[in-house]
Amino acid sequence: MKFQLALLAVKSVGVSKKFYGELFNQTVTLDLGRNVTFSGGFAIQEDFDWLTNIPTDSVLQKSHNMELYFEVEDFDGFIQRLESYPNIVYVHEPKMHEWKQRVVRIYDPDYHMIEIGESMAVIAKRYISQGHSIEETAEIIQHPVEFVKACL
């Protein structure tokens, strides 16, 4: 058995295609009309209730039990892009975790949660360039020494 992808129920394939394409640079790899697969390895499905034969009112919004996760190399640039995009609803504003990763969480047009985090490889390189040793960097970013070495 092989896992293929995650699928999100959406109200409008057109609205979601635009959102993921414009904001997250996702390209469509397969477009079947009501079902679209993106280059990032996830898909969207319009009329999910019809497809699965479940009650329409059982397809929930803001369930807060999963998220899509993206990493960016230029976090500040992405935040500027996000601020210029219309009607973004934030789960929370940008913040920094104790492992020094900056993240922001937003909702997509159907209120699926999306986390956008600064690349941990970029963070590791930043601490190394500031003169920290590999071991110090690993401790600061709470990642294995092997991860930090692989980032160099």
Question: Looking at residue 47, what is its pLDDT?
Answer: 94
10-residue stretch averages of pLDDT, the chain, 152 residues long: 93 97 98 97 94 89 92 98 96 98 97 97 98 98 98 95
Q: Are 111 and 68 in contact (CB under 8 A)?
A: no
Question: Looking at residue 118, what is its pLDDT?
Answer: 98
In what order do the strands lie in the sheet containing 42-46?
6-10, 42-46, 35-38, 28-31
Question: Looking at residue 151, what is its pLDDT?
Answer: 97
Supply the pTM of this predicted model.
0.91
